[in-house]
Amino acid sequence: MTTNPLVKIAFAAPFSGDQAIVGGPMRQCAELAIAQANEQDDLPFRLALRAEDDGADPAQAEAVAHRFVTDPAVIGVVGHKNSGPSAAAAPIYHTAGLVQITPSSTNPGLSRQGYRTFFRLCAHDAAQGQVAAQYAVRVLGARRVAVIHDQTSYGQPLAEVVQATVQQERAKVVLFEGINEGQTDFSPTVARIRKLSPDLIYFALTEIESSILARQLRAAGVESLLFGTDGSRESQFLPLAGAAAEGVFQTYAGVDPDRAPAAGDFVREFQTRYGPVPVYGLEVYDATNLLIAALAQVGRPDRARILAAVATMKDFTGVTGPIQFDAHGDRRDPQVSLWRVEQGQMRLLGLAGELIPPAGG
């Protein structure tokens, strides 16, 4: 029986509430990485996952972060899923010198706060919002656009990027409106959109609110093109929106397994143990393995040295490809892909650079 010391990798996401349908499977991606490392048994440590529910709530995320930093066995954090919780937790990790790698928090400002402990594996919304707006105008021909956001540190900055880019493309934003997280009745918003009859409606919302709004728009007879985020083959938007999902365009700030040649073994193993790979599942798996690689490189559970190893890692290749970070902690060369729901399935249209013609082209 091993007597190796216990080292923990922390993971934070919503495991309760509406977003648990994504947070729970994301946790399983981290569990798989740790299980595989323990099975290989080539480290002088026993690895464990310390997973906590942040409820997609910034205040709850702060409490979770304080528990992580005061646990001496925790050497790094994978998370948080959402931008608001990441923003709330990041200064706590920074003060404690505990490395944080988010797989899916897309707020651009997160990496501009000067927190040396913050790293991100997905693309951020300055890129994602620009791609969506350029595709809407240049490819789909939208001239009149409505933008709906959830007033969070995720949705509102994304919506602002879309609004600015639409205007730069010489199209018009006819409605820019915030709704509330957890809202289920969008009748006033639907009525305003119906009256304006825009060419395209952009959702800077999570799968939950966007699916409800899509259903209510279609039920009211609104035929505008719909465009949202967090597309990917396993997007929860499909089962939540039902028939209203048909024809919806989406961007995705993560890496699709079908465009990641190294992801095959992970996908097969995950599907065998758990089921379908969730959105940003590849990024969770890579973030966990990156922390394990940093621990192996340092050779001991030293937070400061592990942080330095992550920041300077140059030879780590995960299932999403080679990973390096810039001076702000953002991933170099992240992907943004475009998707559309066709016949009840999310279909990959391609990477942004393959699909968007130059301005005036």
Judge whether 146 and 193 are in contact, CB under 8 Å: yes
Structure tokens that stand for 176 in this block: 């820019």
Q: How many Å apart are CA 116 and CA 138, to the nearest integer? A: 38
> What average pLDDT values come out for the chain (361 residues) when binned by 10 residues?
81 95 96 97 94 97 98 98 96 98 96 97 94 97 98 93 97 97 95 98 94 97 94 83 96 91 95 94 98 97 98 94 96 94 93 88 56
Residue bearing tokens 């349908």: 21
Buried b (16+ CB within 10 A) or exposed e, 240-255: bbeebbbebbbbbbbb
Q: How many Å apart are CA 230 and CA 29, to the nearest integer? A: 18
Judge whether 253 and 134 are in contact, CB under 8 Å: no
Which ranges constitute the DSSP H helices of the chain? 20-40, 58-69, 83-96, 125-134, 155-168, 187-196, 207-219, 237-241, 264-273, 281-298, 303-312, 352-355
Supply the pLDDT for residue 3: 67
Sequence-separated (6 or more) residues with CB below 8 Å from residue 223: none
Q: How many Å apart are CA 85 and CA 55, to the nearest integer? A: 9
Question: Could you tell me the domains of the chain?
Answer: 6-123+261-323 (3.40.50.2300), 125-252+336-355 (3.40.50.2300)
Amino acid at 48: A
Supply the pLDDT for residue 361: 56
299 CB-contact burial (10 Å; exposed 0-12 / middle 13-18 / buried 19+):
exposed
Supply the pLDDT for residue 164: 98
Amino acid at 166: V
Rg (CA), the chain: 20
What are the beta bridge partners of residue 147?
A: 176, 202
